Amino acid sequence: MGSLSFRSIASGSGGNCSIVTDGEFMAVFDFGISVRKFRSFLDETGLEPEYISLFISHEHSDHAGNVLPFSRKISGDIYARPLTLKAIGVKGYPVDETVVFGNFSITTVNVSHDAVDPVAFVIESSGRKISIVSDLGQPSPALMERIRNSDILAIEANHDIGMLQNGSYPDPLKRRIRGGKGHLSNIQCGEISAAVAGDSTRLVLLHLSRENNTPQIARKTVGLYMKMEGKDSNPIICATQENGTDFFSIP
């Protein structure tokens, strides 16, 4: 079995998609990007997995807006919670908790967000663990325990509280974003990451707002919380809307 690799293809309100692969199997998480962009990614990276499956966290368009084109143009099964499949209007396999896909065990964990049945994902293979946690207003104890000591923790750092508060968004939208079913701030991301990261955990910050955050501010804020827990040597990378991230591999 080869190394386990993670990459964000795109991350932000303009569309989200990440992959985890061991070369033979590829699990795709969310599909808010175009089929063309996904195929370009495969061409550019030279990846030719034998099996592809798509896992959807929730029905919002930036995560599921192009699931239907995926179902028509890409050969691969689709998995999501039953209410999410219904909300998207696509045929797929309902997931209650854990799915075994090739060499992966993929567990869905409930999160607090304003969608019908939103989830985070924990992907495990031969003792290695990758967690993808995006679009939630606050963590639960169950989520914190499930993502603890991940080799890669890809987690939302949506907004800087001051930038959001002083920005141009209307007040109802500001309240939604910072509410318990909204999005994680940099501070919340830092608190969660510092609490659950192991010595070798690599952090990938997801879903940064273009209006209410910057990569520099997000990294600095999360880094401060990591430093307070003596974890300042852990790498922190920000995913972008245009290019996502580079590959991160776990031997």
- The strand pair at 128-133 and 152-156 is best described as parallel
The H or E element spanning position 86 is helix 82-88
* pLDDT score, position 3: 87
Check whether 1 has a pLDDT greater than 60: no
CATH number of 4-240: 3.60.15.10
248: its two tokens: 């991160």
Is 127 exposed, middle or buried, given 0-12, 13-18 or 19+ CB atoms closer than 10 A?
A: exposed
**pLDDT tens per residue, range 195-204:** 999 999 999 9
| Domain map (residue ranges) of the chain | 4-240
| pLDDT tens, position by position, 61-113 | 999 999 999 999 999 999 999 999 999 999 999 999 999 999 999 999 999 99
Residue from 158, 151, 115 nearest 5 by CA: 151
Query: Rounded mean pLDDT of 17-23?
Result: 97
Interval 114-138 mean pLDDT: 97
